[in-house]
Amino acid sequence: MSKVLQNIEVDLDAELEEQLQWMAPDYSHFEILKKSVDARRGKPRFIYTVEVFGKDETPEKKNFDLEKLQSPPQLPVCIIGAGPAGLFAALRLLERGIPCRLFEQGEATEKRILSIAKFWRKGELNERSNVGFGEGGAGLFSDGKLITRIKSPFIPYVMRRLVEFGAPAEIEYLANPHVGSDKIRRVIPKMREHLIKLGLDLRFNTKVIDLKFSGKNVKAVVLESGEVVDCEQIILATGHSSDIFDVLHQRDVFMEGKSFAVGLRLEHPQIEVNRMQYRDYAEHPKLGSANYKLAYTDKTQGIGVYSFCMCPGGYVLSSGTEKDGLVSNGMSNFNRNSPFANAAIVLSVDHDKNFPGDLFGGMKYRRHLEKQGFEMVHNYGGTRELPAQKLFDFIDGTSKSEIPKTSSPSGAIKAPLHELFDQKFRKLFLEALKKFDRQMKGFLSENAILFGVESRTSCPLRVTRTESFESVSHKGLYPTGEGAGYAGGITSAACDGIKVAESIYQDHLSFSATSG
């Protein structure tokens, strides 16, 4: 009988196999179920959970085959947006035998990569196809961290399918799974091929500009070309940066303001972060690039300051989607081997306290910051760069120091980022940084650089849903993923897309049961 061994501690210079030889001397082979690094004290160690098997035993492969509808509906479901939520919703629907169409305003991966390169090199933004928009959604140029805080039965399915499309097998067991931007860009076109084989009507460069309802029931989507595509269900997987929110508002789709976070992105040399986390073992070849997760709460004001989307061995990206707005974000490749580490340091923005009665208040604030960032770059003689400031200058309220080489592919230009935010923001930001420095000695580093503006951490709106994941105001409209306010990353958006697809499947099942 196979058995599961949990929390096996393995010294940095030892091998798991050696340890297993005395823990389970009769084992023939094993499978890693979980692996993490514990670097809290002394010499870092690996912590494993492993399943060991006897000679004739084979690991049981979880089966993800699904039952299909016997009589598929006539009208395909319309999905808007080819990010993780839209793509996984399409996959699940097709595997359930439900036909669907997917409309994506941006380009397919291969062309999108070229549009992004042009933007970083020349500052020429394609407003439909960029770091936020296009096949793969915001996830395509992401850091590719697949870790999520949600507990969903669909996570193993998502990981398995990604592995089948070419992601590294380790994402099925690592505690901190990571695919990296380079690998995601190879996985998504394979997923596309598979979806098309399953019958997906997939249209790139196709923007949905309106939704049609008959009373409060979904009737059709309207494409920019003027084409009206009839449907009874729309999966709205448009992400947190789409202008579709204006359409939803005009059509009286119920939405609520939602709290979010804004701030700046901070970059350190990776070796400094390794030293902060791994101390004397900073350059140990088995450890790779270290990461961190830091948080501080000002209890009197109820405002949180925290690190977000930490990218070890990564790059700071210019990732805006509007011509006059500038956004920073981060990514890394699978090997996490750039000499820099970056993370967003953001403050929570409570919707009700800051924008009472103004549904679009958060959106407007976000846009205002991005516009200011953009203007700063141009006022300081830049064209395509990100505005940047040495951390110590930010603390002193000056911008005298030149910016050394950074990881940003579009470059960086010296700018007074401290002027972007009010006194209250700066005070909290600095208190948090001081606390982080106490937790990670050296965090306040002479070499650290801030970039503006980290404004797209999550959606400032929620398109509120019922328990069956339909809009509370419109039947047949299924808001999903990050833009709907129900996910906050690649894996959670993918799981949410699946959840919505399953709800549509269950609806069809009960309809066939009652009608047949």
Interface with ligand FAD by CB under 6 A: which residues? Answer: 80-86, 103-106, 131-134, 137-139, 141-145, 207-208, 237-239, 242, 244, 309, 317, 319, 329-331, 481-483, 487, 489-491, 493
Q: Are 147 and 176 in contact (CB under 8 A)?
A: yes
Q: Name which of 362 and 416 has its Cβ closer to ligand FAD.
A: 362
Residue ranges of alpha helices (H) inside 295-447 are 351-354, 361-379, 391-396, 423-439
CB of 207 to ligand FAD, least distance (A): 4
Q: Name which of 52 and 237 has its Cβ closer to ligand FAD.
A: 237
Reduced to 3 states, what is the DSSP secondary structure of residue 97? coil
CB of 42 to ligand FAD, least distance (A): 30
Closest CA to 241 of 372, 353, 362, 157: 362
**Residue holding tokens 């010499």?**
43
CB of 481 to ligand FAD, least distance (A): 2
Beta bridge partners of 475: 217
CB of 84 to ligand FAD, least distance (A): 4
Q: Name which of 77 and 80 has its Cβ closer to ligand FAD.
A: 80
Closest CA to 36 of 10, 3, 5, 2: 10
Q: Name which of 31 and 210 has its Cβ closer to ligand FAD.
A: 210
CA 471, 477, 481: angle at the middle one, nearest 5? 75
Q: Name which of 329 and 408 has its Cβ closer to ligand FAD.
A: 329
CB of 133 to ligand FAD, least distance (A): 3
Query: What Å distances lie between residue 328 and 95, 141, 360, 387, CA to CA?
Result: 37, 12, 22, 9
Q: Are 363 and 311 in contact (CB under 8 A)?
A: no
Q: Name which of 342 and 372 has its Cβ closer to ligand FAD.
A: 342
Distance CA 445, CA 308 (A): 19
Q: Name which of 416 and 460 has its Cβ closer to ligand FAD.
A: 460
Neighbouring C-beta atoms of residue 226, cutoff 10 Å = 7
**In sequence order, what are the residues at sequence separation of 6 or more whose Cβ sits closer than 8 angstroms to the Cβ of residue 142?**
181, 184, 331, 490
Q: Are 319 and 126 in contact (CB under 8 A)?
A: no
CB of 388 to ligand FAD, least distance (A): 17
Q: Name which of 99 and 409 has its Cβ closer to ligand FAD.
A: 409
List strand residue ranges (DSSP E) for 64-186, in order.
77-80, 100-103
